[in-house]
Structure 1
């Protein structure tokens, strides 16, 4: 052999030895870092890499051990049983080398996803405040609230790892974390008295298809196979699922909260199918059953009626009513006409938390939802509307009942008057322009100041008494 071949062999040998050395390092999935919160009272997934066919031993500080073995590719995955809330603990992972995770807590883990209204930090945006944020940041020190923010990552293929660190809540870390996520987690932690871990994975200006896996889109939404070259990187189908959700799977979570929809407003009918498909997609891939998924209905916004805005609100309402174990926080009383990012983020996070506290943590005596349209009855020239989720009746809290419309058989809606009757149980709607009413709708413009509530102070969603087919035909 000549010298060139010898050099080639030496370089190849060095590369091979280097690869073997790297593969020999015991590795954990990137979500497992110091200060991590693991879901209490569960079989928690834990996984990583090592050399092929290597025995892996896990020793948890709460007295539970687990064993597994890497496959021929060096991948390993197992579960370890967690106990009641508590800590701090250590976890030892022993393979080719030993890894020690310190300051591990057992508690409640929630994923916080969506676009800019979920991404908006507690400190606010440039020129956009969040009400009460400075005092909240000042008082945010709490070792029982932990944050993990997934770094913005776009990928055309599913990734195994993401960038991020678990951080303990204090003025510096809380200021930079999702405001909605923070207020949600704080209310859960205060009421349960257990550690709470919050994973923030969101990117502003993104549509739901970017957060949905390719296999689901290919199977049910062929329109996404051909995407215009002008589409922004973060808006392309599946790229954020690949880069910012797939690396988290199957990290054990309690559930997810979600704030998104603005990015899909040009096609509400499609969103009415696409959003439920994303929820089902995540649940299937996590393999945790129908874990709770709570989301925020779009807030009122716009100096003029924005195309598709109400349609997205209706798609979200339909999702809540048709997809199991979902819930919707309505915020049409706290919108902001000139800002797509409303400043009242505390109310948003806390309304999401009410769903979890009632439905998942079984706290009795609280109301978790605003009124939801149930049925319509026509008597002469008036419509009488009844609602679910208003056990003690309806209220307007001194506001005039506005943004109601009524239509007859011609389908033409006219502004209507409304009042609460029958000791608060029924809403009566009428217009002098409609003698034989058929349908009623409420909040049918992108900006309103919500006026219909239940006695717990939670607002009713925009609604129409028409069928879903009629609503999305328009």
Structure 2
């Protein structure tokens, strides 16, 4: 089926389905969809008839029967190894057929603007190498579902969108990270890949959480159930209701997530809310602890006169939000964080190098989810410190070939403090045991911080070029 025909057929399909007003499916169940392979995947919808509904899957000829309850129905079908195209025929007296279905790997891509950012970029904010990526994008084994941006006062059953083949017109408007992540998986796994994008820029984690998951936060105001669109995309639960709830239960392998900038004012709350959100999503999907890989927010915002006073006041909290994301990896089972301390760009919250970001998410997925253990995914991780005189030795895990980026012999990204909690720029050198740090102003060091600023370019990497996260060895109070 050619792309042009496929896109033209979708509206006619839904028009026909609606005019019969019998079996109605959410938008995510439509022509061209990808179903998770080797799984029992849920399919659901509504019906205005009490007749038994039969779903027949072409890959095995098996019929599944389900009776609507109060107009709703749901069943599960067994999927084979990757392949297609297949069909699903749905009968309730009349017949509807879903066509051009592929079986492969399915992932959800969610978060705020850095996940939403399409390959075409934002105004005056391009994506690196976008023209070349777009030009070479045509591949009918990669399918993209771009969910509509909606916020609502109660959980909805549908988020509008359509499945499209990867092709220049489709990928131009699609998440740069989501598409290139799918492309890398497809190239390595040699199976169809589907990505469901539900992302919206400038959004709080609270908006992506369900009302139930926010019960532990009495200070968070839940909107009244007026069954209407909300005026503010950051109203708590609004995006969960309108963009996540409609796809909850759709068969997936995992999720990729890029969000946190909007919560930089509350790192301590974020460390609680973010894991609670993931736990709640997993409970609702009811397919176990599916893989959840996320991006640590990039360095951004240098001190310039162009910045607002509010932005400048929030800068000291940015590294603490990154720290919350780092700690979350130890709280959330089957998770992983892509560190991008070397990818940021001064004065923009949207680093243009989205390929490196998606590569690091893909490394996590390929190694931890798909078993490609030869693919490295982890940069140096702080392990311990010891002091001798005015010097501090820092040791790291995943530190094979520890080095400063570009072959530098020293780094200016370290700071040292004594018990007075005053930090001074430090000299840092690499030895066979780790990194030795010292500052002439600090005779008795007790704490070290690395790249612990809003804007910095991380330079500590291992032999694979994977960067260390910003970190601190102290636990001093986060500034108000």
| TM value normalised by structure 2 | 0.90
Contact 1:55 1:67 in 2 (8 A): no
User: Stretches of 4+ moved more than 6 A in 1?
Assistant: none
- Provide closer, same or farther for how the CA distance between residues 314 and 153 of structure 1 changes in structure 2, counting only shifts above 3 A: same
**Distance across 2 between alignment mates of 1:432 and 1:108:** 55
Partner of 2:383: 374
**Distance across 1 between alignment mates of 2:30 and 2:66:** 21
Contact 1:26 1:49 in 2 (8 A): yes
Deviations 1:216-264 (A, max 9, x none): 11x211111278xxx9610100000000000001101100001111111
Shift of residue 382, structure 1, vs aligned partner: 1.3
Q: How do residues 432-471 of structure 1 correspond to structure 2 at under 5 angstroms?
A: 432-467=440-475, 470=476
Deviations 1:290-333 (A, max 9, x none): 11111111111112261421111111101112221111111111
Shift of residue 157, structure 1, vs aligned partner: 0.0
Which of 406, 412, 416 in structure 1 is aligned with 2:416?
Answer: 406
Partner of 1:311: 320
- Provide closer, same or farther for how the CA distance between residues 203 and 91 of structure 1 changes in structure 2, counting only shifts above 3 A: same
Contact 1:85 1:105 in 2 (8 A): yes
> Unpaired runs of 5+ in structure 2?
1-17, 224-229, 304-311
SS of alignment partner, residue 219 of structure 2: helix
Contact 2:222 2:236 in 1 (8 A): no
Contact 1:294 1:326 in 2 (8 A): yes
Tell whether 2:188 aligns with 1:178: no
Tell whether 2:110 aligns with 1:110: no
SS of alignment partner, residue 55 of structure 2: strand
Partner of 1:68: 65
**Distance across 2 between alignment mates of 1:417 and 1:70:** 71
Shift of residue 388, structure 1, vs aligned partner: 1.8
Partner of 2:366: 357
Contact 1:68 1:77 in 2 (8 A): no
Paired residues in the alignment total: 446
**Distance across 2 between alignment mates of 1:282 and 1:23:** 33
Q: How do residues 252-271 of structure 1 correspond to structure 2 at under 5 angstroms?
A: 252-271=251-270
Shift of residue 389, structure 1, vs aligned partner: 2.2
Which of 71, 75, 79 in structure 2 is aligned with 1:78?
Answer: 75
Contact 2:108 2:196 in 1 (8 A): yes
Deviations 1:393-445 (A, max 9, x none): 444332341221111222221111111101xx411111111121111111111
Which of 328, 333, 349 in structure 2 is aligned with 1:324?
Answer: 333
- Provide closer, same or farther for how the CA distance between residues 415 and 64 of structure 1 changes in structure 2, counting only shifts above 3 A: farther
> Unpaired runs of 5+ in structure 1?
1-20
**Distance across 2 between alignment mates of 1:316 and 1:96:** 52
| TM value normalised by structure 1 | 0.91
**Distance across 1 between alignment mates of 2:62 and 2:386:** 61
Partner of 2:239: 240
Contact 2:402 2:430 in 1 (8 A): no
Give the greater-gyration-radius structure (CA): 1
Partner of 1:419: 429
SS of alignment partner, residue 112 of structure 1: strand
- Provide closer, same or farther for how the CA distance between residues 355 and 471 of structure 1 changes in structure 2, counting only shifts above 3 A: farther
**Distance across 1 between alignment mates of 2:66 and 2:170:** 37
SS of alignment partner, residue 239 of structure 2: helix
**Distance across 1 between alignment mates of 2:398 and 2:183:** 25
SS of alignment partner, residue 76 of structure 1: strand
Partner of 2:406: 397
Partner of 1:284: 283
**Distance across 2 between alignment mates of 1:225 and 1:41:** 41
Shift of residue 112, structure 1, vs aligned partner: 0.3
**Distance across 2 between alignment mates of 1:356 and 1:336:** 26
SS of alignment partner, residue 235 of structure 1: coil
Shift of residue 53, structure 1, vs aligned partner: 3.9
